Amino acid sequence: MKNKLYLLVFIIMLVIACSRDEYDEPNSFSDVSWYTSGFRDSILNVNINDYASFSDLSQGVVSHKWTIEDGNYYLKGPITNKDSIYDKFIIEPAVLETDDKTVHVLFKKGGIQKVNLYNVFDQYVEFKGADDFVFKSKEVDGRWVIDTTFLVDVYDTIVPKILIRQDGNIISHESDSDVITVEAGSAVEFVDVSTVGRPNTRLWQIAGETNSDSLATIQFNKLGEFKGSLNLSRTGENVPADFEKYNIPATVKVIPSSLPFEVSGAVTESESQIIQVPFNGEFESFSGQESHFSVIVNDSPFTIASVKVNTNDGTMLDIKLTDQIYRSDVITVSYDGEGSLISTDTRSAVGFSDLPVNMFQHEVIKFDFESGALNFVPKVNENLSTTIISSSTEQAASGTMSLKVDAPVAGNFSAFINYEDTFHLEAGVPVQYEYKLYKVDGAAIPFMAPWINRGGDETVTQFWHNDIASVPSNTWVTIRVAKKWEAANTADDYNVYVRHGGKGVIYIDDLRIIEVDERP
């Protein structure tokens, strides 16, 4: 609002100057026009304790008045761009009506506020607004009235309000004497329930953790006493900005956990061939622990190059092997429990034996059909018999849905294609096709032919699987086509196309293109 008064004065002077230069107005001429500091906005948006300007530019007016609502005030100028507190400009005694041509209204109440302009003319007039909107005057007691109300959405100052929940219970937090005791490895919920001021962004900060969710679940892993805060702000186009920081009075006191320090989830291989073991707490730094671990790959022990704490997640152990590992490997990992691994809350790590490793899948794209199969459609031309494509809950290899393919008419082949869900391939990187197939008893399917197309219908390669007839019926079978193929061009517009011969009903699930990662 710093420069709106100057802008308003400039526009009014410009209108008057243009009128004087271009048109010698007769006394009988009537016209209705107005200006607001919100320009053509249907609703003006302002902060509470800020003001907006309104000017009646009408000509030939018999009578005229502005009316505001109780709790808002007219201001007198001049107001400079250095002013930020406007109470000193309030016109006293305070009134709700004025016949001034231009008014500056200070808004001291939040919510939708109204500013009314009531003009009376001897002649019929109309106001032409945006989008060809015409506001016609109405005849009242032999004269013509323009009665219009401007809506001003006044944004209150942000008032933070939060809840803190521990184990489902709401915890007192509003006093400096409040202490929230948490066992290491446990989590506390911080809930932003602020409504006053309509904040639309937030940032929690506590114990070195940050979270921008309205419901932030913060896990405390390190011993100590911590204070937290919530930063709230209001941003957006045509939305008055505001910011408020709330320092949470309560202290979070983290004490040693009563639970054993142990593996808390699945062991996985990362894309960079790191075996990652998650624990239910953060590790103190350590070194020289490799001898207490063993990794078995395809029934043979592999040499461990290093065991470290993950640099981004203090609850994760990273185990690096000397030799390369592959997706097809069967790997287990063990810890003898005799090392010096301890958590940041002084618990010793519990040993474990032969935990399986979930291998990284190197998927280029995967269709599990859980969101339906709307992007898969029958491939139609004069050589193809009719294929009915639908998502189905009748069968599923994983989840609850699969792609049902029904070819009721025998022919050379039927086919289905996905034009929409394109994927990226790197030139020179070998890939394979894999899918899960459920063949309904009675289906006569002599072959399956998954293809990779590009740009829709441009065939770039075909993956044939000719022994579909020998696949057992009424059970899910995983088919990884033996063929390996390398794209000649790096591109993002590759797509899936599958042909199959014969007729009958089959279900497809977990269809994916994978990079080749098999042990040679």
Chain centroid offset of residue 511 CA: 27
Query: Nearest CA to 422 among 391, 465, 455, 399?
Result: 455
Q: What percent of the chain has pLDDT over 90?
A: 76
Residue range 369-381, pLDDT digits in tens: 998 788 999 887 7
Domain positions in the chain = 4-155, 162-255, 267-360, 364-515
Q: What pLDDT is recorded for position 31?
A: 83
CATH number of 4-155: 2.60.40.10
CA angle 265, 268, 271 (to 5 degrees): 145
At the top level of CATH, which class does the domain 162-255 belong to?
A: mainly beta
Phi-psi region of 397 (alpha: psi -120 to 50; beta: other; left: phi over 0): alpha
Across the range 478-495, mean pLDDT stands at 95
Examine domains 267-360 and 364-515 and report if their fold is the same. Answer: no
Question: Is 26's pLDDT higher than 80?
Answer: no
What does pLDDT average to over the chain? 90
Across the range 459-487, mean pLDDT stands at 92
How far is residue 103's CA from residue 201's CA, in Å, rounded to a whole number?
A: 34
Domain 364-515 has CATH 3.30.565.10: no
Q: What pTM was estimated for this model as a whole? A: 0.65
At 297, phi and psi to the nearest 5? -115, 115
Looking from the CA of 384 toward its CB, the CA atoms found within 13 Å total: 15
Residue range 193-237, pLDDT digits in tens: 999 999 999 999 999 999 999 999 999 988 999 999 999 999 988
Domain 267-360 has CATH 2.60.40.1220: yes
